[in-house]
Structure 1
């Protein structure tokens, strides 16, 4: 079995993401109540619209600011996202040791693509130009089409790609698209998968 690409999820694999912490940090930075941030980002549907590509970064930040009666800039947004995204050292160590090309596919908006180099500096520049978000395609995992379009952009065949995600629903979607796919949540799990596919 030949694997030419390791395709990675972000939240739940590369980092442990805590939404409540992100809401709290953004609330503190803006001087508003956490409940107001929760309502503006998530209850309003703005986060989902950004993740789907319906709103680009500037339009998303402008709308959040209007709802909160504050100016929300990229740095403030990124700092809150970074505070809530805890890198998994054991996962990153294993990935840094690989010679295999890597790419990222995450259900997030364009702002996350911009933030990722500062969230995970260990994996850049290897991932430069190889980060794909649901917003890029207007599609979310587990839709098989989002995997196919990502690989088409990279010029890699599904049969030669290994995808790892913490959610089995996304693994199933990748398999339906013809990729090899496994559930991974930590460094130990990743190590087992890499060994099984004779990558490590």
Structure 2
């Protein structure tokens, strides 16, 4: 079953309640996968990066402004990286390292955070190079929870939960192709350091 939920309904009281739901999803799911092509995965975001992201959500959708509460929930969610009970395989598009969220003063520490956390036992982090060939058409970002039990997709107007087995098989196939083309280990670190150099010296200063 595929069930879209309009953001206007889901975020009608602000961001904190939905972020609380996401905390629960992550706490209850020991294994997860995520493909995030153009921004940093929420569970690896710094507080400053998350503040900019949620602020833009509030402004775009015209919902109640509870950004500090929403950010606090997002930071709480990150504890799953350190409790020794969870594992996440995450593929970031190389573009995610360059999408300007808050300028260099936000992006530099965010890339540093990725470099620091890349070696966590709870995390397998891949970077999909911008020029690598992937044997599928370009797709939106998505999360897969558990043993391919549910996929979650965020669209402009709504979020979608996918539970139909035939659809889930396609999401699992897509993740296998994307992760298979991604760079890991030293190669991923090289891409991260290249991005850090960009934001540290040659990126936009405004």
User: Shorter-chain TM-score: what band?
Assistant: under 0.3
The alignment's TM-score, normalised by the length of structure 1, stands at 0.27
Higher helix share: 1
User: What is the TM-score normalised by the length of structure 2?
Assistant: 0.26
